[in-house]
Amino acid sequence: MIKDCMKKVIALNLHETAYVDDELEIKPYYAGHVLGAAMFYVRVGEQSVVYTGDYNMTPDRHLGSAWIDKCRPDILITETTYATTIRDSKRSRERDFLQKVHDCVSQGGNVIIPVFALGRAQELCILIETYWERMGLNVPVYFSAGLTERANEYYKLFINWTNQKIKSTFTQRNMFDFKHIKPWERSYMDQPGPMVLFATPGMLHIGTSLEVFKKWAPFEKNMVILPGYCVAGTVGAKVLAGQKVIEVDNFTTIHVNLQVKNLSFSAHADAKGIMQLIRQCEPRNVILVHGEKSKMGFLQTKITKEFDISCYYPANGTSLTIETNNVATVDISVELMKKHLEMSRTLTTDLFNSSNPVERQSAISQLRPKQKVPIQGVLVYNKGKPDRLISRDEFVNNAQEHSHQLFFELTKVFDPSKLYTASDMDVTQDPSLRALDKVKEALVAALGNTLQVETTPELHVKIRTIEIRPTADARTDALLVTWSFADEDLANRVLSIMNFTLLP
Protein backbone atom coordinates (compact mmCIF):
# COMPACT_ATOMS: atom_id res chain seq x y z
CA MET A 1 0.00 0.00 0.00
CA ILE A 2 2.83 2.40 0.88
CA LYS A 3 4.58 1.63 -2.42
CA ASP A 4 1.36 2.36 -4.34
CA CYS A 5 1.07 5.67 -2.51
CA MET A 6 4.70 6.63 -3.21
CA LYS A 7 4.15 6.05 -6.94
CA LYS A 8 1.79 9.04 -6.89
CA VAL A 9 4.32 11.33 -5.20
CA ILE A 10 5.93 13.99 -7.43
CA ALA A 11 9.15 15.55 -6.11
CA LEU A 12 9.60 19.32 -6.54
CA ASN A 13 12.74 21.41 -6.39
CA LEU A 14 12.75 24.51 -4.22
CA HIS A 15 11.19 27.51 -5.99
CA GLU A 16 9.97 25.26 -8.82
CA THR A 17 6.40 26.02 -9.88
CA ALA A 18 4.24 22.98 -10.61
CA TYR A 19 1.13 23.54 -12.73
CA VAL A 20 -1.19 20.65 -11.87
CA ASP A 21 -3.76 22.06 -14.31
CA ASP A 22 -4.92 25.48 -15.51
CA GLU A 23 -6.42 26.25 -12.11
CA LEU A 24 -3.94 24.70 -9.64
CA GLU A 25 -0.39 25.98 -9.09
CA ILE A 26 2.04 24.87 -6.34
CA LYS A 27 5.45 26.31 -5.41
CA PRO A 28 7.72 25.33 -2.47
CA TYR A 29 10.03 27.76 -0.64
CA TYR A 30 13.01 27.08 1.64
CA ALA A 31 11.89 27.16 5.30
CA GLY A 32 15.12 26.59 7.26
CA HIS A 33 13.97 24.87 10.51
CA VAL A 34 15.11 21.30 9.70
CA LEU A 35 16.42 19.41 6.69
CA GLY A 36 13.75 19.32 3.96
CA ALA A 37 11.42 21.86 5.59
CA ALA A 38 9.43 23.86 3.01
CA MET A 39 6.73 26.50 2.90
CA PHE A 40 4.14 26.14 0.14
CA TYR A 41 2.42 28.68 -2.08
CA VAL A 42 -0.79 27.23 -3.56
CA ARG A 43 -3.00 29.02 -6.09
CA VAL A 44 -6.44 27.74 -7.08
CA GLY A 45 -8.01 29.91 -9.76
CA GLU A 46 -7.48 33.48 -8.56
CA GLN A 47 -7.23 32.65 -4.84
CA SER A 48 -3.88 31.84 -3.25
CA VAL A 49 -2.55 30.65 0.12
CA VAL A 50 0.91 30.37 1.67
CA TYR A 51 1.17 27.68 4.35
CA THR A 52 4.42 27.96 6.29
CA GLY A 53 4.53 24.89 8.50
CA ASP A 54 7.52 25.30 10.84
CA TYR A 55 10.13 27.81 9.66
CA ASN A 56 13.09 29.82 10.93
CA MET A 57 14.04 33.29 9.69
CA THR A 58 17.48 33.16 11.36
CA PRO A 59 20.35 31.21 9.75
CA ASP A 60 22.23 28.83 12.02
CA ARG A 61 25.37 26.72 11.85
CA HIS A 62 23.96 24.13 9.47
CA LEU A 63 20.89 25.62 7.75
CA GLY A 64 20.06 28.89 6.00
CA SER A 65 17.16 31.19 6.85
CA ALA A 66 13.67 30.85 5.38
CA TRP A 67 12.93 32.97 2.31
CA ILE A 68 9.89 33.82 0.22
CA ASP A 69 9.29 36.36 -2.56
CA LYS A 70 6.54 38.99 -2.83
CA CYS A 71 3.91 36.46 -3.90
CA ARG A 72 1.11 38.52 -2.22
CA PRO A 73 -1.19 35.60 -1.27
CA ASP A 74 -4.79 36.12 -0.25
CA ILE A 75 -4.02 34.25 2.97
CA LEU A 76 -0.80 33.55 4.88
CA ILE A 77 -1.13 30.72 7.42
CA THR A 78 1.86 30.99 9.76
CA GLU A 79 3.05 29.15 12.84
CA THR A 80 3.34 31.21 16.06
CA THR A 81 5.25 28.97 18.46
CA TYR A 82 7.15 32.03 19.73
CA ALA A 83 4.52 34.69 19.04
CA THR A 84 5.74 37.12 21.73
CA THR A 85 9.42 36.13 22.03
CA ILE A 86 12.28 38.18 20.60
CA ARG A 87 15.53 36.29 21.01
CA ASP A 88 18.81 37.91 21.93
CA SER A 89 21.96 37.59 19.85
CA LYS A 90 22.62 34.05 18.64
CA ARG A 91 26.35 34.51 19.23
CA SER A 92 25.82 35.39 22.90
CA ARG A 93 23.57 32.33 23.38
CA GLU A 94 26.21 30.11 21.81
CA ARG A 95 28.94 31.55 24.06
CA ASP A 96 26.72 31.10 27.12
CA PHE A 97 25.93 27.49 26.15
CA LEU A 98 29.58 26.55 25.58
CA GLN A 99 30.70 28.26 28.79
CA LYS A 100 28.11 26.39 30.89
CA VAL A 101 29.06 23.02 29.36
CA HIS A 102 32.79 23.71 29.82
CA ASP A 103 32.37 24.83 33.46
CA CYS A 104 30.36 21.72 34.33
CA VAL A 105 32.70 19.15 32.77
CA SER A 106 35.80 20.92 34.13
CA GLN A 107 34.40 20.28 37.64
CA GLY A 108 33.80 16.59 36.89
CA GLY A 109 30.08 16.82 36.14
CA ASN A 110 27.98 15.19 33.43
CA VAL A 111 25.91 17.30 31.03
CA ILE A 112 22.74 15.97 29.42
CA ILE A 113 21.26 17.96 26.54
CA PRO A 114 17.78 16.69 25.53
CA VAL A 115 17.19 17.30 21.82
CA PHE A 116 15.01 15.98 19.02
CA ALA A 117 16.74 13.78 16.44
CA LEU A 118 16.45 16.22 13.55
CA GLY A 119 17.51 19.87 13.69
CA ARG A 120 18.82 21.04 17.08
CA ALA A 121 20.87 17.85 17.52
CA GLN A 122 22.94 18.66 14.42
CA GLU A 123 23.13 22.38 15.25
CA LEU A 124 24.49 21.84 18.77
CA CYS A 125 26.71 18.92 17.75
CA ILE A 126 28.47 21.19 15.23
CA LEU A 127 28.83 23.86 17.94
CA ILE A 128 30.33 21.41 20.47
CA GLU A 129 32.51 19.72 17.82
CA THR A 130 34.01 23.07 16.74
CA TYR A 131 34.59 24.19 20.35
CA TRP A 132 36.15 20.88 21.42
CA GLU A 133 38.54 21.02 18.47
CA ARG A 134 39.48 24.64 19.11
CA MET A 135 40.04 24.15 22.85
CA GLY A 136 41.74 20.75 22.56
CA LEU A 137 39.33 19.10 25.03
CA ASN A 138 39.27 15.32 25.46
CA VAL A 139 36.10 14.95 27.55
CA PRO A 140 33.91 12.34 25.77
CA VAL A 141 30.82 13.60 23.94
CA TYR A 142 28.03 11.24 22.85
CA PHE A 143 24.75 11.35 20.97
CA SER A 144 22.06 8.74 21.50
CA ALA A 145 22.22 6.14 18.76
CA GLY A 146 19.32 5.40 16.46
CA LEU A 147 17.33 8.33 15.14
CA THR A 148 20.05 10.97 15.58
CA GLU A 149 22.67 8.76 13.95
CA ARG A 150 20.38 8.08 10.99
CA ALA A 151 19.45 11.77 10.76
CA ASN A 152 23.15 12.67 10.48
CA GLU A 153 23.45 10.29 7.53
CA TYR A 154 20.60 12.11 5.76
CA TYR A 155 22.37 15.45 6.32
CA LYS A 156 25.41 13.99 4.56
CA LEU A 157 23.23 12.86 1.64
CA PHE A 158 21.39 16.17 1.22
CA ILE A 159 24.24 18.60 1.78
CA ASN A 160 22.74 21.01 -0.79
CA TRP A 161 19.97 21.86 1.73
CA THR A 162 22.49 23.16 4.27
CA ASN A 163 23.93 26.66 4.54
CA GLN A 164 26.60 28.12 2.26
CA LYS A 165 29.50 27.59 4.68
CA ILE A 166 28.91 23.84 4.99
CA LYS A 167 28.40 23.48 1.23
CA SER A 168 31.61 25.38 0.43
CA THR A 169 33.75 23.28 2.83
CA PHE A 170 32.08 19.96 1.98
CA THR A 171 34.82 18.84 -0.44
CA GLN A 172 37.52 19.32 2.24
CA ARG A 173 35.49 18.02 5.19
CA ASN A 174 31.90 17.00 5.86
CA MET A 175 30.87 18.82 9.05
CA PHE A 176 28.61 15.89 9.96
CA ASP A 177 31.56 13.47 10.18
CA PHE A 178 32.16 14.25 13.85
CA LYS A 179 35.61 13.51 15.30
CA HIS A 180 34.83 14.20 18.95
CA ILE A 181 31.23 12.94 19.14
CA LYS A 182 30.55 9.21 19.31
CA PRO A 183 27.39 7.07 19.48
CA TRP A 184 26.02 6.46 22.98
CA GLU A 185 25.82 3.04 24.58
CA ARG A 186 23.67 2.26 27.61
CA SER A 187 26.65 0.93 29.57
CA TYR A 188 28.25 4.41 29.56
CA MET A 189 25.56 5.62 31.98
CA ASP A 190 27.32 4.02 34.97
CA GLN A 191 30.81 5.24 34.06
CA PRO A 192 32.33 8.07 36.13
CA GLY A 193 32.22 11.50 34.50
CA PRO A 194 32.76 13.93 33.10
CA MET A 195 30.89 13.48 29.81
CA VAL A 196 28.38 15.25 27.56
CA LEU A 197 25.34 13.51 26.09
CA PHE A 198 22.90 14.65 23.40
CA ALA A 199 19.84 12.47 24.04
CA THR A 200 16.41 12.15 22.46
CA PRO A 201 13.63 13.14 22.88
CA GLY A 202 13.84 16.83 23.71
CA MET A 203 11.09 17.05 26.35
CA LEU A 204 12.36 14.28 28.67
CA HIS A 205 9.06 12.39 28.52
CA ILE A 206 10.35 8.98 27.33
CA GLY A 207 13.40 7.28 25.87
CA THR A 208 17.12 7.70 26.44
CA SER A 209 16.92 11.30 27.66
CA LEU A 210 14.49 10.41 30.48
CA GLU A 211 16.41 7.27 31.44
CA VAL A 212 19.73 9.13 31.77
CA PHE A 213 18.09 12.13 33.44
CA LYS A 214 16.71 9.88 36.20
CA LYS A 215 20.23 8.55 36.80
CA TRP A 216 22.04 11.92 36.82
CA ALA A 217 19.39 14.24 38.35
CA PRO A 218 20.15 13.59 42.07
CA PHE A 219 23.75 14.89 41.82
CA GLU A 220 24.47 18.63 42.13
CA LYS A 221 27.63 18.59 40.00
CA ASN A 222 25.64 17.41 36.94
CA MET A 223 23.70 19.69 34.59
CA VAL A 224 20.74 19.53 32.21
CA ILE A 225 20.50 22.10 29.40
CA LEU A 226 17.08 22.32 27.75
CA PRO A 227 17.58 24.08 24.40
CA GLY A 228 13.99 24.07 23.14
CA TYR A 229 10.29 24.31 23.91
CA CYS A 230 8.68 21.82 26.34
CA VAL A 231 4.95 21.09 26.28
CA ALA A 232 3.10 21.56 29.57
CA GLY A 233 2.88 18.32 31.56
CA THR A 234 6.13 16.79 30.28
CA VAL A 235 9.07 16.12 32.59
CA GLY A 236 11.03 18.82 30.72
CA ALA A 237 8.36 21.44 31.45
CA LYS A 238 8.32 20.47 35.14
CA VAL A 239 12.10 20.73 35.34
CA LEU A 240 11.99 24.21 33.79
CA ALA A 241 9.27 25.20 36.28
CA GLY A 242 11.75 24.47 39.10
CA GLN A 243 10.10 21.38 40.58
CA LYS A 244 12.52 19.53 42.86
CA VAL A 245 10.47 16.33 43.09
CA ILE A 246 8.87 15.01 39.90
CA GLU A 247 6.52 12.04 39.72
CA VAL A 248 7.01 10.38 36.34
CA ASP A 249 4.43 7.66 37.00
CA ASN A 250 2.96 5.74 39.94
CA PHE A 251 6.24 3.93 40.48
CA THR A 252 8.92 6.52 39.63
CA THR A 253 9.88 9.72 41.45
CA ILE A 254 12.85 11.88 40.45
CA HIS A 255 14.68 14.10 42.96
CA VAL A 256 16.10 17.00 40.94
CA ASN A 257 19.33 18.36 42.45
CA LEU A 258 21.37 18.93 39.29
CA GLN A 259 21.84 22.37 37.68
CA VAL A 260 19.03 23.33 35.27
CA LYS A 261 19.68 25.69 32.36
CA ASN A 262 17.31 26.81 29.61
CA LEU A 263 18.89 28.31 26.48
CA SER A 264 16.63 28.83 23.48
CA PHE A 265 18.07 27.17 20.39
CA SER A 266 14.66 26.44 18.93
CA ALA A 267 14.42 26.38 15.14
CA HIS A 268 11.09 28.23 15.10
CA ALA A 269 10.71 31.86 14.03
CA ASP A 270 10.37 34.37 16.87
CA ALA A 271 8.01 37.37 16.78
CA LYS A 272 10.53 39.42 14.80
CA GLY A 273 10.90 36.60 12.25
CA ILE A 274 7.12 36.24 11.82
CA MET A 275 6.80 39.96 11.13
CA GLN A 276 9.72 39.73 8.67
CA LEU A 277 7.98 36.94 6.72
CA ILE A 278 4.75 38.97 6.51
CA ARG A 279 6.77 41.93 5.24
CA GLN A 280 8.41 39.73 2.58
CA CYS A 281 5.33 38.09 1.04
CA GLU A 282 2.77 40.92 1.63
CA PRO A 283 -0.37 38.83 2.27
CA ARG A 284 -3.89 40.31 2.26
CA ASN A 285 -4.92 38.27 5.33
CA VAL A 286 -3.00 36.38 8.03
CA ILE A 287 -4.09 33.31 10.00
CA LEU A 288 -2.08 32.39 13.11
CA VAL A 289 -1.78 28.71 14.11
CA HIS A 290 0.47 26.48 16.25
CA GLY A 291 0.69 28.78 19.26
CA GLU A 292 -0.75 29.78 22.64
CA LYS A 293 -4.03 31.70 22.55
CA SER A 294 -3.01 34.68 24.71
CA LYS A 295 0.27 35.18 22.84
CA MET A 296 -1.44 34.84 19.46
CA GLY A 297 -3.90 37.56 20.51
CA PHE A 298 -1.02 39.92 21.30
CA LEU A 299 0.65 39.20 17.94
CA GLN A 300 -2.66 39.66 16.10
CA THR A 301 -2.94 43.21 17.47
CA LYS A 302 0.62 44.00 16.41
CA ILE A 303 0.13 42.62 12.87
CA THR A 304 -3.15 44.48 12.36
CA LYS A 305 -1.64 47.75 13.56
CA GLU A 306 1.63 47.55 11.62
CA PHE A 307 0.39 46.13 8.30
CA ASP A 308 -3.26 47.26 8.29
CA ILE A 309 -4.50 43.81 7.26
CA SER A 310 -6.96 41.35 8.78
CA CYS A 311 -5.46 38.77 11.14
CA TYR A 312 -7.18 35.74 12.72
CA TYR A 313 -6.28 33.03 15.25
CA PRO A 314 -9.18 30.55 15.13
CA ALA A 315 -9.58 27.67 17.58
CA ASN A 316 -9.07 24.13 16.31
CA GLY A 317 -12.07 22.82 14.38
CA THR A 318 -13.60 26.22 13.62
CA SER A 319 -14.25 27.60 10.12
CA LEU A 320 -13.32 31.03 8.75
CA THR A 321 -14.95 32.96 5.92
CA ILE A 322 -12.57 35.46 4.30
CA GLU A 323 -13.47 37.77 1.43
CA THR A 324 -11.09 37.77 -1.54
CA ASN A 325 -10.93 39.74 -4.79
CA ASN A 326 -13.36 38.75 -7.54
CA VAL A 327 -12.24 38.15 -11.12
CA ALA A 328 -13.98 39.97 -13.97
CA THR A 329 -13.82 38.94 -17.65
CA VAL A 330 -13.40 41.87 -20.05
CA ASP A 331 -12.84 42.42 -23.77
CA ILE A 332 -9.54 44.13 -24.64
CA SER A 333 -9.47 46.51 -27.58
CA VAL A 334 -7.16 45.67 -30.49
CA GLU A 335 -5.48 49.09 -30.30
CA LEU A 336 -4.61 48.63 -26.60
CA MET A 337 -3.25 45.14 -27.23
CA LYS A 338 -1.07 46.35 -30.11
CA LYS A 339 0.36 49.19 -28.02
CA HIS A 340 1.09 46.85 -25.12
CA LEU A 341 2.84 44.27 -27.32
CA GLU A 342 4.88 46.96 -29.08
CA MET A 343 6.02 48.47 -25.78
CA SER A 344 6.89 45.01 -24.36
CA ARG A 345 8.83 44.10 -27.50
CA THR A 346 10.76 47.37 -27.45
CA LEU A 347 11.75 47.09 -23.80
CA THR A 348 12.69 43.42 -24.11
CA THR A 349 14.94 44.17 -27.12
CA ASP A 350 16.64 46.95 -25.17
CA LEU A 351 17.16 44.63 -22.20
CA PHE A 352 18.76 41.99 -24.45
CA ASN A 353 21.24 44.60 -25.72
CA SER A 354 21.97 45.98 -22.26
CA SER A 355 25.48 45.87 -20.79
CA ASN A 356 23.92 45.10 -17.41
CA PRO A 357 23.87 41.28 -16.86
CA VAL A 358 20.91 41.58 -14.48
CA GLU A 359 18.85 43.29 -17.19
CA ARG A 360 19.85 40.68 -19.79
CA GLN A 361 18.67 37.95 -17.42
CA SER A 362 15.41 39.87 -17.00
CA ALA A 363 14.96 39.86 -20.78
CA ILE A 364 15.51 36.10 -20.93
CA SER A 365 12.93 35.54 -18.19
CA GLN A 366 10.37 37.52 -20.21
CA LEU A 367 10.54 34.92 -23.00
CA ARG A 368 9.11 32.26 -20.71
CA PRO A 369 5.35 31.53 -20.72
CA LYS A 370 3.39 33.83 -18.41
CA GLN A 371 0.33 33.04 -16.37
CA LYS A 372 -0.59 36.74 -16.07
CA VAL A 373 0.09 39.70 -18.36
CA PRO A 374 -0.48 43.10 -16.68
CA ILE A 375 -2.00 45.67 -19.06
CA GLN A 376 -2.88 49.27 -18.21
CA GLY A 377 -6.00 50.77 -19.74
CA VAL A 378 -9.41 52.33 -19.08
CA LEU A 379 -12.18 49.97 -17.96
CA VAL A 380 -15.49 50.88 -19.61
CA TYR A 381 -18.70 49.51 -18.11
CA ASN A 382 -21.94 49.61 -20.14
CA LYS A 383 -25.07 48.05 -18.69
CA GLY A 384 -26.16 45.05 -20.74
CA LYS A 385 -22.88 44.93 -22.70
CA PRO A 386 -19.54 43.19 -22.04
CA ASP A 387 -17.02 45.24 -20.04
CA ARG A 388 -14.17 46.57 -22.20
CA LEU A 389 -10.58 47.58 -21.51
CA ILE A 390 -9.46 50.28 -23.95
CA SER A 391 -6.49 52.60 -24.36
CA ARG A 392 -6.48 56.09 -22.89
CA ASP A 393 -6.53 57.66 -26.37
CA GLU A 394 -9.59 55.60 -27.35
CA PHE A 395 -11.41 56.71 -24.23
CA VAL A 396 -10.60 60.40 -24.78
CA ASN A 397 -11.76 60.24 -28.42
CA ASN A 398 -14.93 58.19 -27.80
CA ALA A 399 -16.12 59.94 -24.67
CA GLN A 400 -14.94 63.39 -25.80
CA GLU A 401 -13.32 63.88 -22.41
CA HIS A 402 -10.32 66.02 -21.57
CA SER A 403 -7.14 64.07 -20.88
CA HIS A 404 -5.57 64.51 -17.43
CA GLN A 405 -1.90 63.75 -16.85
CA LEU A 406 -0.54 62.29 -13.61
CA PHE A 407 3.15 63.02 -13.01
CA PHE A 408 5.64 61.47 -10.60
CA GLU A 409 8.85 62.93 -9.22
CA LEU A 410 11.93 61.21 -7.75
CA THR A 411 15.24 62.55 -6.43
CA LYS A 412 18.22 60.32 -7.27
CA VAL A 413 21.25 61.03 -5.03
CA PHE A 414 24.72 60.13 -6.34
CA ASP A 415 28.33 60.13 -5.13
CA PRO A 416 30.40 62.67 -7.15
CA SER A 417 33.66 60.82 -6.41
CA LYS A 418 32.41 57.84 -8.44
CA LEU A 419 31.87 59.93 -11.59
CA TYR A 420 35.50 60.60 -12.49
CA THR A 421 38.25 58.26 -13.63
CA ALA A 422 41.99 58.78 -14.07
CA SER A 423 41.52 59.31 -17.82
CA ASP A 424 39.02 62.17 -17.41
CA MET A 425 40.41 65.45 -18.74
CA ASP A 426 38.02 67.91 -17.10
CA VAL A 427 37.56 67.20 -13.40
CA THR A 428 36.28 70.74 -12.77
CA GLN A 429 32.93 70.09 -14.48
CA ASP A 430 29.89 70.51 -12.24
CA PRO A 431 29.06 67.08 -10.69
CA SER A 432 25.37 67.31 -11.67
CA LEU A 433 26.22 68.05 -15.32
CA ARG A 434 28.81 65.27 -15.28
CA ALA A 435 26.16 62.89 -13.90
CA LEU A 436 23.70 64.00 -16.61
CA ASP A 437 26.31 63.32 -19.31
CA LYS A 438 26.97 59.82 -17.98
CA VAL A 439 23.25 59.07 -17.69
CA LYS A 440 22.60 60.28 -21.25
CA GLU A 441 25.45 58.13 -22.61
CA ALA A 442 23.99 55.08 -20.87
CA LEU A 443 20.45 55.84 -22.07
CA VAL A 444 21.56 56.31 -25.68
CA ALA A 445 23.50 53.02 -25.54
CA ALA A 446 20.53 51.15 -24.09
CA LEU A 447 17.54 52.84 -25.76
CA GLY A 448 18.94 54.84 -28.67
CA ASN A 449 17.92 52.30 -31.31
CA THR A 450 14.22 52.55 -30.47
CA LEU A 451 13.68 55.83 -28.60
CA GLN A 452 14.96 59.38 -29.05
CA VAL A 453 17.14 60.57 -26.16
CA GLU A 454 17.46 64.35 -26.45
CA THR A 455 18.98 67.28 -24.58
CA THR A 456 16.71 70.29 -24.02
CA PRO A 457 17.90 73.93 -24.27
CA GLU A 458 18.06 73.90 -20.45
CA LEU A 459 20.53 70.96 -20.70
CA HIS A 460 17.97 68.50 -19.32
CA VAL A 461 17.84 64.92 -20.64
CA LYS A 462 14.43 63.98 -22.06
CA ILE A 463 12.75 60.78 -23.35
CA ARG A 464 9.04 61.14 -24.11
CA THR A 465 7.55 62.59 -20.89
CA ILE A 466 10.56 61.54 -18.80
CA GLU A 467 12.86 64.43 -17.88
CA ILE A 468 16.11 64.31 -15.89
CA ARG A 469 17.69 67.49 -14.52
CA PRO A 470 19.79 68.73 -11.57
CA THR A 471 17.91 69.51 -8.37
CA ALA A 472 17.20 73.12 -7.45
CA ASP A 473 19.35 72.75 -4.31
CA ALA A 474 22.94 73.26 -5.48
CA ARG A 475 24.24 71.91 -2.15
CA THR A 476 22.86 68.43 -2.90
CA ASP A 477 24.49 66.04 -5.37
CA ALA A 478 21.32 64.66 -6.92
CA LEU A 479 19.27 64.48 -10.10
CA LEU A 480 15.53 65.09 -10.27
CA VAL A 481 13.53 62.65 -12.42
CA THR A 482 9.92 63.35 -13.49
CA TRP A 483 7.61 61.22 -15.64
CA SER A 484 3.96 60.76 -16.48
CA PHE A 485 1.86 57.77 -15.51
CA ALA A 486 1.58 56.84 -19.20
CA ASP A 487 5.36 56.23 -19.30
CA GLU A 488 5.64 54.40 -15.97
CA ASP A 489 7.09 51.20 -17.46
CA LEU A 490 9.68 53.15 -19.43
CA ALA A 491 10.48 55.25 -16.34
CA ASN A 492 11.23 52.10 -14.34
CA ARG A 493 13.63 51.08 -17.11
CA VAL A 494 15.32 54.52 -17.07
CA LEU A 495 15.66 54.44 -13.27
CA SER A 496 17.25 51.00 -13.49
CA ILE A 497 19.82 52.32 -15.99
CA MET A 498 20.51 55.32 -13.74
CA ASN A 499 21.10 53.03 -10.76
CA PHE A 500 23.56 50.96 -12.77
CA THR A 501 25.33 54.10 -14.06
CA LEU A 502 25.51 56.24 -10.91
CA LEU A 503 26.00 53.49 -8.31
CA PRO A 504 28.86 51.33 -9.67
**How does DSSP assign 417-452, residue by residue?**
GGS--TT-S---S-HHHHHHHHHHHHHHHHHTTTS-
Boundaries of every domain in the chain: 8-85+267-312, 90-262, 329-353+374-403, 407-502
For the segment(s) 8-85+267-312, the CATH number from 3.30.565.10, 3.40.390.10, 2.40.50.140, 3.60.15.10 is 3.60.15.10
Query: What pLDDT sits at residue 353?
Result: 55
Architecture of domain 90-262: 3-Layer(aba) Sandwich (3.40)
- Residues of the chain above pLDDT 90, percent: 36
Predicted confidence band of residue 437 (pLDDT cuts 50, 70, 90): confident
Whether residue 260 has pLDDT greater than 60: yes
Query: What pLDDT sits at residue 68?
Result: 92
Q: Taking Cα atoms as reference points, which of 498, 482, 487, 411 lies closest to residue 446?
A: 498
Q: Taking Cα atoms as reference points, which of 292, 264, 291, 109 lies closest to residue 202?
A: 264
Query: What pLDDT sits at residue 363?
Result: 47
Query: What pLDDT sits at residue 50?
Result: 98
Whether residue 368 has pLDDT greater than 50: no
Predicted confidence band of residue 154 (pLDDT cuts 50, 70, 90): confident
Would strands 478-484 and 466-470 be described as parallel, antiparallel, or unpaired? antiparallel
497 or 326, which is more confident: 497
Query: What pLDDT sits at residue 365?
Result: 47
Cα(178)–Cα(133) distance, integer angstroms:
10
Helix (H, G, I), strand (E, B) or coil at 296: helix
Query: What pLDDT sits at residue 62?
Result: 82
Interval 439-467 mean pLDDT: 86
Predicted confidence band of residue 420 (pLDDT cuts 50, 70, 90): low
Lowest mean pLDDT among 159-163, 176-180, 447-451, 475-479: 447-451
Whether residue 439 has pLDDT greater than 80: yes
Question: Residues 17-33: pLDDT tens digits?
Answer: 999 888 899 999 999 88
Contact criterion met (CB below 8 Å) for 347 and 446: no
- What values do phi and psi take at 497, rounded to 5? -65, -40
Whether residue 451 has pLDDT greater than 90: no
**Dihedral of the CA atoms 392, 394, 399, 400 (nearest 10)?**
90
* Residue 459: other Cβ atoms inside 10 A: 12
Query: Domain spanning 407-502 has what CATH number?
Result: 3.30.310.50
Whether residue 72 has pLDDT greater than 80: yes
Q: What crossing angle do the helices spanning 120-135 and 90-106 adopt, rounded to 10°?
A: 60
Helix (H, G, I), strand (E, B) or coil at 111: strand
Q: Considering only the C-alpha atoms of the chain, give the largest distance between any 2 of them, rounded to a whole number of Å.
A: 96
Q: What single DSSP character describes residue 459?
A: S
466 or 426, which is more confident: 466
Helices (H), 7-119: 90-106
Which residue in 16, 23, 46, 79 is the catalytic one?
A: 79
Q: Taking Cα atoms as reference points, which of 435, 431, 457, 451 lies closest to residue 491?
A: 451
- What values do phi and psi take at 333, rounded to 5? -65, 150
Predicted confidence band of residue 366 (pLDDT cuts 50, 70, 90): very low
Cα(420)–Cα(430) distance, integer angstroms:
11
Active site residue 306: no
Over the Cα atoms of the chain, what is R_g?
31
Question: Residues 370-397: pLDDT tens digits?
Answer: 445 567 788 888 888 888 888 877 887 7
Predicted confidence band of residue 358 (pLDDT cuts 50, 70, 90): very low
Segment holding 364, helix H or strand E:
helix 357-365
Cα(381)–Cα(371) distance, integer angstroms:
25
- Residues of the chain above pLDDT 70, percent: 88
Question: Residues 308-323: pLDDT tens digits?
Answer: 999 999 999 999 999 8
pTM: 0.61
State which of 16-20, 59-63, 355-359 shows the largest mean pLDDT: 16-20
